[in-house]
Amino acid sequence: MYRNAAYPSLSTVLKALVGNNGVVTTIRSRSSCSEVLAPPAYATAQHQRHCSTSPGLLGEFQEMTGDSGKPITCVLFCGPHFPASHNYTKEYLQSHPCIKVDVVPLDDVPHAIGNYDICVVKNMRLTPDIIARANKMKLIMQYGVGLEGVDINAATKHGIKVARIPSDATGNATSCAEMAIYQMLGLLRKQYEMQVAVRQKKLGEPIGETLLGKTIFIMGYGNIGIHLAKRLRPFGVRILATKRSWPSSSQSSCKSDVLYSENATHDDLVDEKGGHQDILKFASCADIVVCCLRMNSETAGIVDKDFISSMRKGALLINIARGGLLDYEAVLHHLKSGHLGGLGIDVAWTEPFDPDDAILKFPNVIITPHVAGVTEVSYRYMAKVVGDVALQLHTGTPLTGVEIVN
């Protein structure tokens, strides 16, 4: 990558290693991700500033010592799930031996976390006890936006920054919005029954429904909600949405008669706007409810028995955010009773989800394996963000492309 770097000759390296009397200089390392003794002072100032691969003995020497005497910066990916996250990050950083990327089994994370500078949490829960062991940790981040698994107060107490990757820039919000529409259409057109009809060689059935004319409640009008509303508009639907606060011109529960155009604002996509106090009212008016909320102490289990009971009989429920937003028993009860017309979930109460769970026995349930945001575009972009952050941390430059939350 650094073609103009002035590297020392092989003879210079050998002389530095062996010395004039033929005695080999010893370079010791406690582990692959711990500090090493500084190498002999043979490298030029320019070489010290760069981190690149070089062939032969010099390349091997650099691999041992990182960036000319700087400790190697170690990145920990928690667990084997979402494999594209660590595979794409390793690929992005393959020409930078000063950064080491490891994938550690979930059960081993508490024992290994003390050796790492950066932790990409994925679906691991980082408790105060685990964070207390992160002696070298400088940054905990998510490969996306959800940080509900990280005890942010504990990280702050130990001087560790916590960050998310904003979904709007990565394409994650777009991917999740598309998945929500995929699940809506699958339920409306009766995906399960269609597959049965194919196997039974039936034509012209089942009779499905269209999105046209439906009322859709977007619960949580953030980046994903906005992208969803943009894509729903051409289907000819009515959109209700709630969020914590709207601009002063868009007061709670106000109706908008603005015809959306390229010059309109994101809020103008919504026909009726509301706050938390309006969720039951909006649920009672909607044909489809889409849960796009962030998971926290206030939103956990928010879609409970009262919420689903307030929905129209036969209405659909879609969740592309976090499994814990839905109360499991309430969902199961209303599927059994027939009150809930269909369920589409990309996230579950426990992940991986039990394939024998009772909820999956219903033909009007579509579940996908937490892949709403897992697309080539979004994962390549997030790999670049994680790789760039690792390089920035290694060189001591300001972190970009992430949102620090503490």
DSSP notation for 126-180: B-HHHHHT-SS--EEE-SSS--TTB-HHHHHHTT-EEEE--HHHHTHHHHHHHHH
**In terms of pLDDT, which residue wins out, 169 or 151?**
151
How many C-beta atoms surround the C-beta of residue 7 within 10 A? 17
Assigned fold of 172-367: Rossmann fold (3.40.50)
With a cut of 80, say whether residue 299 has pLDDT above it. Answer: yes
Pinpoint the residues of the chain covered by CATH 3.40.50.720.
73-169+377-404, 172-367
| Mean pLDDT value of segment 362-374 | 94
Tens digit of each residue's pLDDT (9 = 90 or more) over 177-212: 999 999 999 999 999 999 999 999 999 999 999 999
Q: So what's the pLDDT on residue 249?
A: 55
CB-CB contact of 140 with 119 (8 Å): yes
Report d(CA 36, CA 114) in Å as an integer: 16
Rounded to the nearest 5°, which phi and psi values hold at 304? Answer: -110, -165
Beta strands, E only, 138-292: 139-141, 161-164, 215-219, 238-242, 272-274, 288-291
Q: So what's the pLDDT on residue 59?
A: 42
Report d(CA 331, CA 311) in Å as an integer: 12
Please name the residue that has the structure tokens 């059935």: 205
Confidence band of 322 (pLDDT split at 50, 70, 90): very high
| Mean pLDDT value of segment 257-279 | 75
Give the lowest-confidence range in 35-49, 304-318, 352-366: 35-49
Q: What pTM was computed for the model?
A: 0.74
Confidence band of 71 (pLDDT split at 50, 70, 90): confident
Report d(CA 135, CA 31) in Å as an integer: 15
CB-CB contact of 173 with 224 (8 Å): yes
Q: So what's the pLDDT on residue 146?
A: 84
Q: So what's the pLDDT on residue 27?
A: 37
Cis peptide before 352 (omega within 30 of 0): yes
| Mean pLDDT value of segment 266-272 | 90
> Which numeric CATH code is attached to 73-169+377-404?
3.40.50.720
